[in-house]
Amino acid sequence: MWSYVARRVLYNIPIYLVIVMVVMVMLRINDPVTAYLSKNATEAERSLKEAEFGLDQPFMVQYLDMLKSIVTFDFSTKSWYQETNTVGEIITPSILPSLKITLPSLALSTFISIVVGLIAAVNRGRLIDRGLMFVAVVGMSISFLVFIILGQYFGAYWLNGKVGTEIFAIRYDADRMTGFFVADWIKFYLLPVMISVVVSMGYDTRFYRTVIVEQTNADYIRTAKAKGCSQRRVMFRHLLRNAMIPIITRVMITMPFLIVGSLLLEVYFSIPGMGKTLLTHMTNKDFAVTQAIVAILAALFILSNILTDVLYAIVDPRVRLA
């Protein structure tokens, strides 16, 4: 098992090195200093900024510097946009707020979608299956933004007006925090989480239903039924276990996005997470933060790929031998 893990890690190192290089090249195609300084910047200002940010160095020196900071987790470069903070100081506090939305969203939407997928698959072709899939398709067809706009309007503004007290906040506000974790989470994060769950359920339910339907036609299910297993046992003991590979794949694909957060939700609810941070610093031509976040994101993708492979190997020992 460990040699398998080591092999996966070694395979991915050169991929990561290439990704970082490509990212760095792409971010330099349009001169980042010109973009940052905007109109009317003088040549002196430009060269000054280039020197300040190390962009006057040969590309390979910049590349090695970047790799060094990733390996040592040293993101002490100053941000271009928020000049008083380092890249690390900007990224680190953004991770937790993102996780407060994405982790519960992922857990809830995966759990609910699997359950709904199971119900639909068991009742395949019947009214309940059609009804659930119709709702899922409708949910998928509506833009995420519509859910957010309506969710925020009715879930926060309208509901607060009706009830006369603030159940869900229109936006995150540290001033209105109470200090009680659960109460604050409900007030500032539950509504975005619910919106996120509703949105992802459309896609997830259809996906899990398909996976489960595929498994229900497999021979081992027929065998289990022939042995006299109950429907519940067939579903949870046999079917769900064998459906784990596609489920793991789907969950693991979303892992890097747990850190990056849900950009739109964070922007609309003013949640100081990674998505909002990335958007802010990109739109403000903050080359230092953008480059670091993209490199971290690439690393997370690689890590989640490795982790996925390891999980495959755990749930299906045949994978290790391949």
164: contact with another protein by CB under 8 A: no
d(CA 119, CA 213) in angstroms, rounded, equals 11
Binding track, positions 69-88, relative to another protein; x by CB under 8 A: ---------x--xxxxx---
- To another protein, the closest distance from the beta carbon of 32 in angstroms equals 7
d(CA 106, CA 85) in angstroms, rounded, equals 31
d(CA 163, CA 167) in angstroms, rounded, equals 8
267: contact with another protein by CB under 8 A: yes
- Applying CB under 8 A, which part among 55-63, 171-179, 193-201, 241-249 lies near another protein? 171-179
CA terminus-to-terminus distance, the chain: 12
- To another protein, the closest distance from the beta carbon of 24 in angstroms equals 17
Distance of CA 152 to the CA centre of its chain: 21
Listing DSSP states for 176-192 in one string gives G--S-HHHHHIIIIIHH
Among positions 88-107, residues that touch another protein (CB under 8 A) are 90
174: contact with another protein by CB under 8 A: yes
The residue (of 182 and 321) whose beta carbon lies closer to another protein is 182
* Structure-token match 């992802």, residue found: 200
Distance of CA 119 to the CA centre of its chain: 27
- Applying CB under 8 A, which part among 132-140, 176-184, 218-226, 254-262 lies near another protein? 176-184
The residue (of 117 and 155) whose beta carbon lies closer to another protein is 155
Distance of CA 129 to the CA centre of its chain: 29
**Residues 250/309, Cβ–Cβ less than 8 Å:** no
156: contact with another protein by CB under 8 A: yes
Check residue 146 and report its DSSP letter.
H
- Per the structure block, which two tokens stand in for 65? 């510097």
Among 42, 72, 217, 231, binds another protein (CB under 8 A): 42
Number of Cβ within 10 Å of residue 305's Cβ equals 18
Residue ranges binding another protein (CB under 8 A) = 30-32, 34-35, 37-40, 42-45, 47-49, 52, 78, 81-85, 90, 149, 152-153, 156-157, 160-161, 165, 167, 170-176, 178-180, 182-184, 186-187, 267-270, 272, 276-277, 280, 284-285
